[in-house]
Every structure is written in structure tokens, then in C-alpha cells.
């Protein structure tokens, strides 16, 4: 009972908002709100009222409009960048050194013997001015099996519209029966004609003498008449062939040789390939890090398909990465390398030197992309500045923290290396290659259960590879699916070179190094193989660009508050006030609806009532004389609260007004207690 009373009272108080009609409520709100505008509306004269009404409306809409802009700005997730430059103790970068040549020629000679003989013979034929001079001293017959898989052809462009394709060896073997092909696309476009080409086998009555390319000296026109091209067929003997032609024979030969040698080498197991490459103790002759000596054992060996055995200093895979806390060459890494240029594979790589690259710990070195050369017979000094870019991840920018959200299977994870965009792109390519060609390319790591491509098992792999490589669509797919890493570290290098060793010091340096490596008193090294490297931090060794969110939630709130405060002097409390008013008006609505419903019900009930409705005079009397009440209207049981004496005079308004005050006062008293 008590509780019910309390609840009723609470309800009563709740219902009794600042007013019982909308107007009252509004006036009350305007009068009492902390927002600056509304008060003015009700306090001013009619004209000013109107002005203030529109001003308030204008300010309110301005506030909302600018709030919209601010929230939009916040949701666009802008970043601000801060740049810091200086010197601090930093992890020394991982240094990968490789030889530009992947294998020792002396070790791989037995594998490449046939190939070398072929290319030599082919070059002989191409370069000989007159065919009569062809030396028949090539005693063992050439193994044309290898040649026929991917042949080199000469394209005779004397007749621009109808170029004649000459096979270099077949002309000699099968006299007079050479192969001509009308390739329509080779003339205008220097790019390799893609797609199907109808190769017509025509009976040409060209003699043995003329089929061999005539001396280029005969031609007088400016245009070069002969071009070398690589013929690629989808499978051997098929008509589905393309010719990759080259403006330069040197380029064509290199390309052809690389194709053939990868096919041969891909069959060699990995440990054998590692054995054929350069060994750490042969390559790294001296090493000094700061003041501490180091040797080849401090390097981690990794097999790189382009460059054979590569050695990484300070990779940080097994042990802690080394720190460098001093700038200058004295505190950096000093290396002396031997690349033994005499043992290079002649046709595979024409540039000689060491390939080196600085990269982050635990990342795979992509030497073809980021590597630099160091020239033999020189001292190369590399000053390093670490250029870091630290970005915020999603939603600020579209980058990946560790590559786990990239939909490409990272094949380089078998090296235990971190994600990088290069790894992603190569993995993406290799995955496509496996999917389309059925075998993996030799230059990239293999997915599980797939073999490297070679001519025997996959005769059309080269065709497939080149069509895939030149496909713009494939590249775009890979670019779209790979994401860059959020933390991008680049090593800016200042490279300078000097001759080394100097002529005066040459003798003793070669002697000591030869003795240390080969235990021989003879000089086994020469200028063409020896390289000195200095890698050190510059005076300023880092430049870090780091991002921070330009718009934080604090920023948003203060800006929102600023706007609201600026136009209307409002705050969150004002919003709460407004909410309260809305709730109040809802209550009013509910009360109105309920009373309206009740009124409706009463009306219906009255309509159903058989009695005649009370007359006006009756009703008036009911109001004026409390003692005389109409029975059915006694729905107000509270009438008993009123004194029933009929003798009292009818109350006037004043006393009636005072009364509720008395009724209410005990309530408030009780509450205060």
C-alpha cells in the first residue's frame, strides 16, 4: 500500500513536468534552458521575437550543418604526418651479398656443355659473313634436341611485308628445305607478336649457299635487315608459335640462354645447386664490424635463384640483430669479397660484380629490385640513412601489418621471412604460373607438390611463361590483390667509389688474402675479382615519417562542443535538457491520448445510458453546489475529500487556488525528510 502510494506519487511527479500543455512546456523550456538563443525568443518584443526566432533557428541549423561536416571529417580518417630526423642507436641493416654470377662455371660446365656448344655454333653461323667459311671442325655432332625445343631464328626483313624466317641450324641439316613463315605482325610492331600465327611451310628453292644469312655489309639501306628472334611454341611441332624478336642479337642470345639454362638447372636438386655456387669461405675474405672481427661464419647462407648462394650478415634470424651506435665508416661493416670473375658463366650474365642489398632483419632480399652492384677492383662506400614510414593501418590507410589479410599465399614464408609487397607479387605470379602452365618458374619458390618447369616435362612452358609475363591483366590482378606493408623501411644509400687496392698496396694485399684463403704463397686473386665494401651509418641515420590520426574522438568532441558553444553557448547538458523536453512532450501526448480515450469511453458509456443526460442546470448545480451531486456522475470518488456540508458558501477562485498548495505541501515536506 505504502509502495503503491509512493509509486503513484512518483508517477504523479514524473507526469507533472514543467507544464501540462505543449505551449507551457515550450515556454518553460525557453525560459530555463542554458542554450542562449531560446530565452531570447520569449523575452523579447514581437518584432525582436521574430528576429530571435529566426536567429535561433539559423544558429541551430548552422550547428547541425557544421556538426555534419565535422563528423564527416572524422569519418574520413585523415592522418597527420610528423617527420623526425637525427641519429640514434639503430639496428644495423641486414646486408646481403651475392655474386652477380649464380654458379661457378667450372662446377656447372658438365651441365651446360651442350648448350654452350650450341650457342657457339649458332653465333658462328650468324656472325660469319660468308657461309663458305663455316668451319666444319665441330667434330661431335650437335645435339639438336635441345635446340629444337626453343630455337633461335633469324628474321629476314628485306621485304618488310613478308619477312622470311630462317632457322639457323635446320637450313644446314636439311638442305633447301627451310622454313618460311609469314608473320604479319613482326614487321610493324617490334613487340613479339602474340597469339596464334599460321606458320606456313613453303617449298622454297633457295640453295644451301643463300640460306645462310648474307653478310650484313652488303646491305646499304639504313634499316637493319636481320633480326634474331626466339621461337616459342605452345608445344613442340605445333603451329601455335610466337616469335619474340629482339632489336639486338646480344639481348636475344642472353634471353635464349637464360631460358635454356633454367630448364636444365631446374632439374638439379637444391643441395647440388648450393654446392655449385660460391661458398662463403671462398667469397668472403675479410670481415670487420666496427672494431670486432667477423668472418664468413657470421653470415647466413640463403639460396637465391637469380644469384645462387647469397650471404646475409645480421639477418637476425637466430641471434639478436646488431646495433650500431656510432656514425661513420669506422663503426660500420667492412668486407672484402672475391667474385672470381674468371669462373663466370660466359653467356648467362654479362655484368660482373657483387650484388648487394641492405634490407630489414627477417625480410627476404629481392636483389633484382632493390640490389645494387659493386664493381670489381674498387672500394665501394655506402652511407646509410634509414628512411622509415610508419603508417596507421585500417581504416586510415589500406595497408597490411603482417600480410595475414592478403588473399595471396605467401610462398616466401618457407624462408621464415616477413611479408613484403615483392614477396606477394612474386608469389602471386608463381601461383598463376602453376595454375596455368602446370609447373613453377625456376626463379620463384615452389608451392607444395609442384615441380619446376623444364623442357622435357613441360615442352610449352616458355611459351606459357612469356604469355603470362606479358599479360597486363595478370599483372593488374596481382597489383590489386597485394597490399603494401604499413611500416615501410628503405635504406637510402650514398654510394661512392674509389680504386682499390692502390697500385702500391696491391702486392701485399693480394699476397695476404691469397695466403689466408688458399694457404698458397702464390697470388690467386686479381683486380678483376676483388671488391671492398664499407657500409656505415651516416651522421643522420634515420628519417622517420610517422602518421598519427588527425581526427581523434577527443578532437571530434571538442570541435562539436566548440561549434555548439560558438553559435548557441550550448553543451551536452543542453542536449540532455532538450531530450528531457522531448520526453515531457511525449508524456503530455500520452496523457492527452489517454484522457481523450477516456473521454471517448465516457461518451460511449453515456450514449449507452438509458437515463436522460443531465441538463445544463443540473450540471451547473453540480459544480456550484457540492452537496447536490448527480448520481452517475459520482465517478469522482474524491468528492469525499471535499467537505460535504451544504452550508458553506461556494468557493471563489482565490481560495480554490490556494488549496492545492496546502495539499501539496505535506508531500514536499515528506520528501525532504
Partner 1 sequence: MPGGGAGRDGIPRSRGGGARVREGAGPAAAPSVPGPPAAAATAPGKKITARLKRTLPVRGPQAPTLSELMRWYCLNTNTHGCRRIVVSRGRLRRLLWILLTLSAVGLILWQCAELLMNYYSASVSVTVQFQKLPFPAVTICNINPYKYSAMKEYLSELDKETKKALETFYGFSEGKTKVRRSVDEWNSTGSDFFQQIPLLKVEDFSRTATDLHSGQKRKIEGSVFHKDSSIVNSGDSNDIIGFQLCDANNSSECALYTFSSGVNAIQEWYKLHYMNIMAQIPLETKEKLSYSADDLLLTCFFDGLSCDKRHFTRFHHPLHGNCYTFNSGENGTVLSTSTGGSEYGLQVVLYIDEADYNPFLVTSTGAKIIVHDQNEYPFIEDIGTEIETAAATSIGMHFTRSRKLSKPYSDCTETGADIPVENLYNKSYSLQICLHSCFQKAMVDSCGCAQYAQPLPVGAEYCNYKKNPNWMYCYYRLHEKFVKEQLGCQQICKDACSFKEWALTTSIAQWPSTVSEDWMLRVLSWDKGQKLNKKLNKTDLANLMVFYKDLNERFISENPANTLVILLSNFGGQLGLWMSCSVVCVIEIVEVFFIDSLSIVMRRQWQKAKKWWNDRKRAGPGKPPQAGDVERQGHDNPVCIDEDLPTFNTALRLPLPQDSPLPRTPPPNYSTLRLETAFTEQLPDTLELGPH
Q: Which of residues 416-435 bind partner 1 (CB under 8 A)?
A: 421-422, 425
Cα distance between residue 293 and residue 333, in whole Å:
10
Find out whether 594 and 20 touch, Cβ atoms under 8 Å.
Answer: no
Cα distance between residue 277 and residue 304, in whole Å:
10
Residue 606 binding partner 1, by CB under 8 A: no
Residue 20 binding partner 1, by CB under 8 A: yes
Interface residue with partner 1, options 47, 271, 448, 608 (CB under 8 A): 47
Residue 253 binding partner 1, by CB under 8 A: yes
Residue 349 binding partner 1, by CB under 8 A: yes
Interface residue with partner 1, options 109, 117, 432, 475 (CB under 8 A): 475
Cα distance between residue 477 and residue 408, in whole Å:
11
Interface residue with partner 1, options 106, 130, 196, 219 (CB under 8 A): 219
Q: Is the N-terminal amide bond of 286 cis, ω within 30° of 0?
A: no
Find out whether 352 and 528 touch, Cβ atoms under 8 Å.
Answer: yes
Residue 93 binding partner 1, by CB under 8 A: no
- Give the H or E element holding residue 575: helix 572-608
Residue 568 binding partner 1, by CB under 8 A: yes
Which residues between 569 and 588 bind partner 1 (CB under 8 A)? Answer: 569-571
Residue 451 or 470 with smaller CB distance to partner 1: 470
Q: Is 228 helix (H, G, I), strand (E, B) or coil?
A: strand
Interface residue with partner 1, options 50, 479, 572, 600 (CB under 8 A): 479
φ/ψ of residue 430, rounded to 5: -65, -40
Interface residue with partner 1, options 61, 196, 236, 350 (CB under 8 A): 350
Q: How far is CA 527 from CA 284, 337, 379, 482, 643, in A?
A: 15, 11, 11, 44, 128
Residue 510 binding partner 1, by CB under 8 A: no
Residue 340 binding partner 1, by CB under 8 A: no
Cα distance between residue 567 and residue 561, in whole Å:
10
**Binding marks (x or -) toward partner 1, 147..166, rule CB under 8 A?**
--------------------
Residue 334 binding partner 1, by CB under 8 A: no
- Give the H or E element holding residue 530: strand 530-549
Q: Which stretch binds partner 1 (CB under 8 A): 157-165, 173-181, 316-324, 656-664?
A: 656-664
Find out whether 158 and 180 touch, Cβ atoms under 8 Å.
Answer: no
Residue 388 or 457 with smaller CB distance to partner 1: 388
Interface residue with partner 1, options 216, 328, 407, 627 (CB under 8 A): 216
Q: Indicate the DSSP class of residue 493.
A: E
Least distance from partner 1 to the Cβ atom of residue 283, Å: 16
Residue 78 binding partner 1, by CB under 8 A: yes
Residue 249 or 509 with smaller CB distance to partner 1: 249
Q: Is 487 exposed, middle or buried (CB count within 10 Å of its CB: 0-12, 13-18, 19+)? A: middle
Residue 565 binding partner 1, by CB under 8 A: yes
The torsion region of residue 391 among left (phi > 0), alpha (psi -120 to 50) and beta comes to beta
Interface residue with partner 1, options 233, 260, 567, 588 (CB under 8 A): 567
- Give the distance from CA 255 to its chain's centroid: 32
Residue 298 or 430 with smaller CB distance to partner 1: 430
Interface residue with partner 1, options 57, 144, 620, 636 (CB under 8 A): 636
Interface residue with partner 1, options 271, 638, 640, 673 (CB under 8 A): 638
Residue 285 or 384 with smaller CB distance to partner 1: 384
Least distance from partner 1 to the Cβ atom of residue 251, Å: 5
- Beta strands 226-233; 241-246: pairing state: antiparallel
- What's the grid cell of residue 577? 535538457
Least distance from partner 1 to the Cβ atom of residue 379, Å: 13
Residue 106 binding partner 1, by CB under 8 A: no
* In 454-552, alpha helices (H): 461-469, 472-481, 506-518
Residue 346 binding partner 1, by CB under 8 A: yes
Which residues between 480 and 509 bind partner 1 (CB under 8 A)? Answer: 482-484, 488, 490, 492-493, 495, 497
Least distance from partner 1 to the Cβ atom of residue 525, Å: 14
* In 16-45, alpha helices (H): 22-32, 36-43
Residue 186 binding partner 1, by CB under 8 A: no
Which residues between 388 and 417 bind partner 1 (CB under 8 A)? Answer: 389, 391, 397, 399
Residue 44 or 457 with smaller CB distance to partner 1: 44
Interface residue with partner 1, options 207, 561, 579, 644 (CB under 8 A): 561
- Beta strands 284-289; 333-338: pairing state: antiparallel
Q: How large is the greatest C-alpha to C-alpha distance in the chain, in angstroms?
A: 153
Interface residue with partner 1, options 663, 669, 672, 673 (CB under 8 A): 663
Least distance from partner 1 to the Cβ atom of residue 127, Å: 5
- What's the grid cell of residue 94? 641486414
Residue 135 binding partner 1, by CB under 8 A: no
- Beta strands 530-549; 378-390: pairing state: parallel
- Of 406, 412, 407, which Cα lies nearest the Cα of 426? 412
Find out whether 481 and 469 touch, Cβ atoms under 8 Å.
Answer: no
Residue 179 or 547 with smaller CB distance to partner 1: 547
Rg over alpha carbons for the chain, rounded to the nearest Å, is: 46
Cα distance between residue 324 and residue 536, in whole Å:
9
**Binding marks (x or -) toward partner 1, 271..310, rule CB under 8 A?**
----------------------------------------
Q: How far is CA 533 from CA 232, 380, 500, 539, 643, in A?
A: 42, 5, 10, 19, 114
Q: Which stretch binds partner 1 (CB under 8 A): 244-252, 312-320, 408-416, 534-542?
A: 244-252
Residue 366 binding partner 1, by CB under 8 A: yes
Amino acid at each position: 500500500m505504502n509502495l503503491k502510494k509512493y509509486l503513484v506519487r512518483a508517477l504523479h511527479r514524473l507526469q507533472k513536468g514543467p507544464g501540462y500543455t505543449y505551449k507551457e512546456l515550450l515556454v518553460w523550456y525557453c525560459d530555463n534552458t542554458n542554450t542562449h538563443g531560446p530565452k531570447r525568443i520569449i523575452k523579447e518584443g514581437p518584432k525582436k521575437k521574430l528576429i530571435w526566432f529566426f536567429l535561433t533557428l539559423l544558429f541551430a541549423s548552422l550547428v547541425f550543418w557544421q556538426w555534419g561536416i565535422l563528423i564527416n571529417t572524422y569519418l574520413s580518417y585523415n592522418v597527420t604526418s610528423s617527420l623526425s630526423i637525427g641519429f640514434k642507436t639503430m639496428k644495423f641493416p641486414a646486408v646481403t651479398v651475392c655474386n652477380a654470377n649464380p654458379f661457378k662455371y667450372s662446377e656447372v660446365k658438365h651441365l651446360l656443355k651442350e648448350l654452350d656448344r650450341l650457342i657457339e655454333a649458332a653465333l658462328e653461323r650468324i656472325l660469319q659473313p660468308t657461309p663458305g667459311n663455316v668451319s666444319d671442325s665441330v667434330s661431335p655432332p650437335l645435339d639438336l634436341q635441345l635446340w629444337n625445343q626453343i630455337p633461335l631464328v633469324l628474321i629476314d626483313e628485306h621485304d618488310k611485308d613478308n619477312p622470311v624466317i630462317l632457322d639457323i641450324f635446320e637450313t644446314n641439316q636439311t638442305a633447301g628445305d627451310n622454313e618460311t613463315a609469314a608473320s604479319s605482325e613482326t614487321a610493324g610492331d617490334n613487340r613479339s607478336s602474340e597469339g596464334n600465327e599460321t606458320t606456313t611451310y613453303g617449298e622454297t628453292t633457295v640453295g644451301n649457299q643463300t640460306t645462310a644469312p648474307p653478310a650484313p655489309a652488303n646491305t646499304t639501306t639504313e634499316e637493319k635487315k636481320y633480326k634474331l628472334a626466339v621461337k616459342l611454341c605452345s608445344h613442340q611441332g605445333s603451329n601455335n608459335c610466337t616469335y619474340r624478336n629482339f632489336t639486338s642479337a646480344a639481348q636475344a642470345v642472353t634471353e635464349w640462354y637464360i631460358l635454356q639454362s633454367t630448364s636444365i638447372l631446374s632439374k638439379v636438386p637444391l643441395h647440388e645447386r648450393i654446392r655449385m655456387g660460391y661458398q662463403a669461405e671462398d667469397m668472403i675474405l675479410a670481415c670487420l664490424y666496427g672494431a670486432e672481427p667477423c668472418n664468413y661464419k657470421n653470415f647466413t647462407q640463403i639460396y637465391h635463384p637469380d644469384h645462387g648462394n647469397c650471404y646475409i650478415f645480421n639477418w637476425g634470424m637466430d641471434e639478436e640483430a646488431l646495433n650500431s651506435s656510432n656514425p661513420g665508416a669506422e663503426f660500420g661493416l667492412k668486407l672484402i669479397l672475391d667474385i672470381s670473375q674468371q669462373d663466370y658463366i660466359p653467356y648467362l650474365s654479362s655484368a660482373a660484380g657483387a650484388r648487394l642489398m641492405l634490407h630489414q632483419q627477417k625480410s627476404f632480399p629481392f636483389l633484382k629490385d632493390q640490389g645494387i652492384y659493386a664493381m670489381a677492383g674498387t672500394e665501394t662506400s655506402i652511407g646509410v640513412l634509414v628512411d622509415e614510414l610508419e603508417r596507421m593501418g585500417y581504416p586510415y590507410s589500406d595497408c597490411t601489418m603482417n600480410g595475414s589479410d592478403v588473399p595471396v599465399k605467401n610462398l616466401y614464408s618457407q624462408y621464415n621471412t616477413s611479408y613484403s609487397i615483392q614477396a606477394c607479387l612474386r608469389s602471386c605470379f608463381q601461383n598463376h604460373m602453376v595454375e596455368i602452365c602446370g609447373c613453377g618458374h625456376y626463379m620463384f619458390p615452389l608451392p607444395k607438390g609442384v615441380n619446376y618447369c623444364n623442357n622435357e616435362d613441360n615442352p610449352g612452358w616458355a611459351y606459357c611463361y612469356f604469355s603470362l609475363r606479358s599479360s597486363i591483366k595478370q599483372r593488374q590482378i596481382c597489383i590489386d590483390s597485394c597490399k603494401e606493408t604499413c611500416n615501410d623501411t628503405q635504406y637510402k644509400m650514398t654510394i661512392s667509389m674509389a680504386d682499390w687496392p692502390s697500385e702500391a698496396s696491391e702486392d701485399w694485399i693480394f699476397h695476404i688474402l691469397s695466403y689466408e684463403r688458399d694457404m698458397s704463397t702464390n697470388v690467386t686473386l686479381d683486380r678483376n675479382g676483388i671488391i671492398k665494401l664499407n657500409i656505415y651509418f651516416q651522421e643522420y641515420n634515420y628519417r622517420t615519417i610517422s602518421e598519427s590520426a588527425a581526427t581523434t574522438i577527443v578532437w571530434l568532441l571538442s570541435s562539436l562542443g566548440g561549434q555548439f558553444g560558438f553559435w548557441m553557448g550550448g553543451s551536452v547538458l543542453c542536449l540532455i535538457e532538450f531530450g528531457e523536453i522531448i520526453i515531457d512532450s511525449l508524456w503530455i501526448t500520452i496523457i492527452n491520448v489517454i484522457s481523450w480515450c477516456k473521454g471517448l469511453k465516457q461518451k460511449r458509456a453515456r450514449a449507452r445510458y438509458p437515463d436522460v443526460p443531465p441538463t445544463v442546470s443540473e450540471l451547473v448545480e453540480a459544480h456550484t453546489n457540492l452537496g447536490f451531486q448527480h448520481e452517475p456522475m459520482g465517478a469522482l470518488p474524491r468528492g469525499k475529500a471535499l467537505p460535504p456540508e451544504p452550508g458553506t458558501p461556494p468557493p471563489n477562485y482565490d481560495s480554490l487556488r490556494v488549496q492545492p498548495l496546502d495539499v501539496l505541501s505535506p508531500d514536499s515536506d515528506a520528501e525532504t525528510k
